[in-house]
Amino acid sequence: MRDWEPRIDKLTFDRDALAVHRRINRTGAPYPDGSSVKELFERCARNHADAVAVIHRDRALRYRELNQLANALAARLQQEGLKRGETVGVCIDRSPELIVALVAILKCGAAYLPFDPSWPDERVRGLFQVVGGSAAPHTQEAARSWMLSDRVPALAARFPECHHVPVLPVLPVPPSASADASDHHANPDTPVSAEDIAYINFTSGSTGKPKGVPIRHQSIARLVYGATYARLDARTVLLQLAPVTFDAATFEIWGALLHGGTCVLYPSRFVRLSELKHALRTHGVTVLFLTTALFNTVMDEAPDTIQSVETVLTGGEAHSLKHIRRGLDRFGTERLVSVYGPTECTTFATYYPIRELLPDETALPIGLPIQNTRVYVVQDRKLCAPGEVGEVLIAGPGLSPGYLGIPDVTNERFVEYDIDGEVERLYCTGDRAYLREDGNLVFQGRTDDQVKISGYRIELGEISHHLGQHPAVKQNFVTVSQDVAGEKALLAFVVSEGEGCSPTAIRDFLKERLPGYMIPSSVYLCESLPLSATGKVDRKALLGVHHPSGALSS
């Protein structure tokens, strides 16, 4: 049940605007919308039992083995008391154990909540408080939370007060995972619906608290079946490179495992281009997703790293045309695809096969909606005609049911519009764009202060909120800089009062409250924050005075 009441507004439009939106939104395609990920994976395990499902370094699991191990873990979780509709926090390094855990949790009808052990204690506690306060979809009671980890003693020591959140160990996958008949565990008979929640990602929130985004099983199926942006089938070999806390991992894992393909786990925590090249070539990876920043690094330092890959998807923030041009020159017109999509819409919402760059092009289009997805450009409750800039609104089965525990924000961002007699539920992205005459969307920035850096979505307001909690910070302003290579960095400008307000002290303060990717790379101490004629902080003046020298850089 929804804990919010949608408003239904009518969109006005002219016929040209309606016609182009109808044309680009003819994206309906058959997909298993009535099946859960549990059913779809078990079907693959049955039909592709001897195919390799997961590779990690020198270890490989076939579908039969992966299914057996997941069944065994699911049985253990259910014996411990895990029930359908509950949530399991997952803190496991990229490994076969991680994949076994995710499959097992879904087999129990529970949802997985990935989190990183490097996140501050306060943030991790906050995640479980939010989840613990939400109602399970099949009961009127708050959902119980669990933790499953490969570092149980460390987590138990960090959260001794969380006795109501059981912390369970994930068992190591043996070097030879073949199971004999005595080890056989049948698929759990737990009923799991396509409408059930499969996982929860937390994104940055402007109030200082991250927002929990639950995603349904059906939404994962919509993402990976009938894909228009890449070939996904039993021959697909996908590299799992993104942190599992990042929604790109949804595509990397289930894009392979729901088709009988192979999911290759990148062997290290941090990316080295030489190791990336070796993994791609050794295992014959066919589809690869790179954040915009990593794609730029590859093109600058070692473009032959991705030479062997059939399709390279890239996205997460606005592209550098210089780097895209290098990619076209190097790989031709059939290899690169730009993808775009918020977490709330299950990873990808639009795609743009990069065939050429027009001479007068100033921004790479984010493209057309992917299968079973609809996109609208709206300004002041009016559908925009080609060339008119408006907010991007997304519809379709990829949408989250709404944020956990914050119905007011859900009601603000998830809306219902009557469009020429048809009611659509839409997510308001906060991204601005216009439609070209051919229907492709061109990104034009944000309507708020949300940015993407290295693929991570960050609301500058959340960083500013925590800066404001420092006892010696009087005023602050957080922004983003971009160098000539197109790389972005977070900057913080601080007006201090009292003692203890050095750049080092501020960064140490934030490290106790925020993940590493949200810590400003440079902190500047200012006597005041200059204002523009409109009364807003004059970002240009601040950068002109303080950047690029005089800061503490990471």
Q: Tokens 């076939």 belong to which residue?
A: 62
Looking at the DSSP bridge assignments, the partners of residue 479 are 491
pLDDT in tens, the chain (554 residues): 344 455 678 888 899 999 999 999 999 999 999 999 999 999 999 999 999 999 999 999 999 999 999 999 999 999 999 999 999 999 999 999 999 999 999 999 999 999 998 888 888 888 888 887 665 555 444 457 888 988 888 887 777 655 567 778 887 887 765 544 345 689 999 999 999 999 999 987 766 678 999 999 999 999 999 999 999 999 999 999 999 999 999 999 999 999 999 999 999 988 999 999 999 999 999 999 999 888 998 998 999 999 999 999 999 888 888 899 999 999 999 999 999 999 999 999 999 999 999 877 888 999 999 999 999 999 999 999 999 999 999 999 999 999 999 999 999 999 999 999 999 999 999 999 999 999 999 998 888 777 888 888 888 878 988 888 888 888 888 998 877 667 788 999 998 887 778 999 999 999 999 999 999 999 999 888 887 655 567 888 888 877 654 343 33
pTM of the model: 0.87
The CB density around residue 356, as the number of other CB atoms within 10 Å, is 9
Q: Tokens 């349904």 belong to which residue?
A: 216
Q: Within 13 Å and on the Cβ side, how many CA atoms surround 110?
A: 30
Q: What are phi and psi of 68, to 5 degrees?
A: -60, -45
Looking at the DSSP bridge assignments, the partners of residue 169 are 149
Asked if residue 117 has a cis previous peptide bond (ω within 30° of 0), the answer is no
The two three-digit tokens of residue 490, written as one number: 């977070």
Full set of structural domains in the chain with CATH: 450-553 (3.30.300.30)
CA angle 462, 463, 464 (to 5 degrees): 90
How many angstroms separate the most distant Cα atoms in the chain? 77
Radius of gyration (C-alpha) of the chain in whole angstroms? 23
Task: Reduce the DSSP state of residue 125 to 3 states and report it.
Answer: helix
| Strands 87-91 vs 111-114: parallel, antiparallel or unpaired | parallel
Buried-state track 180-199, b at ≥16 Cβ within 10 A, e below 16: eeeeebebbebebbbebbbb
Ramachandran category for residue 264: left, alpha or beta (phi over 0 → left; psi -120 to 50 → alpha): beta
Q: Tokens 């307000």 belong to which residue?
A: 501
Measuring CA to CA, which residue among 7, 1, 12 is closest to residue 385? 12
> Distance between the two ends of the chain, CA-based, in angstroms?
45
DSSP state of 319: P
CA angle 263, 202, 145 (to 5 degrees): 90
Looking at the DSSP bridge assignments, the partners of residue 377 are 392
